[in-house]
Structure 1
Amino acid sequence: MNKQDQLNMIKEDFINCQKILLAIGDETRQSILLVLMGTDCQTGLRVGEITEQTHLSRPAVSHHLKVLRDAGVILMRKEGTKNFYYINVRTELGLLKTLVLDIDKFMQNFY
């Protein structure tokens, strides 16, 4: 693959990752993700539990969870009237890995 093809692929990677990068670029959402990473992926946490661990207000946590969900970074599991949030490790975050790997391959040509 030539240099221009690689750059075009990286450009496409960036476009695919735009929502994810915006979602995880916020410091508050990063703290929520860190809290979620400290739990069992299958179980997840409820808004109240995230609120306790991040010391954010419930409306703030709900807002940030919505942004993360809309970007595909986290998922929600319903159990009756309870909602449990957990990190979506298999799909959208994988796009970031692809982006970083493609940039790494490109940069290896210069070293």
Structure 2
Amino acid sequence: MNKQDQLNLIKDDFINSQKVLLAIGDETRQAILMVLMSTDCQTGLRVGEITEQTHLSRPAVSHHLKILRDAGVILMRKEGTKNFYYIDIRTKLGSLKNLVLDIETLLTEFY
């Protein structure tokens, strides 16, 4: 692959990662992600549990969870009337890995 092809690939990677980058760029959402990553619970956490650990209001947590879900960073599982939020490795976070790897490949080959 020539340099221009790799640059075009990286441009596509950036486009595919825009929502994820915006979603995880916020400190509050980073705190929520840290809570979700640090829990021993494999089934996810409910809004109330996230609220307790982040000291944010329920509406704030719900708002940020929606942004993270819309960006494809987290997933939600319904169990009756309860919603459980969790990070899945198959989410859009993988697009960031592709972006970084493609940039690294370009820099290694051409610089």
Q: Is the 8 A contact 1:41 1:86 kept in 2?
A: no
Distance (Å, rounded) in 2 between the aligned partners of 1:97 and 1:40: 24
Alpha-carbon RMSD across the aligned residues, in angstroms, is 1.2
TM-score by length of 1: 0.95
Where in structure 1 are there 5+ consecutive unaligned residues? none
Partner of 1:78: 78
Distance (Å, rounded) in 2 between the aligned partners of 1:109 and 1:96: 20
Distance (Å, rounded) in 2 between the aligned partners of 1:57 and 1:91: 26
Distance (Å, rounded) in 2 between the aligned partners of 1:93 and 1:39: 19
Residues paired across the two proteins, number:
111
Where in structure 2 are there 5+ consecutive unaligned residues? none
Moved over 3 A (4+): none
Q: Is the 8 A contact 2:74 2:86 kept in 1?
A: yes
TM-score by length of 2: 0.95
Percent identical pairs in the alignment equals 83
Tell me how far 1:110 sits from its aligned partner.
4.6
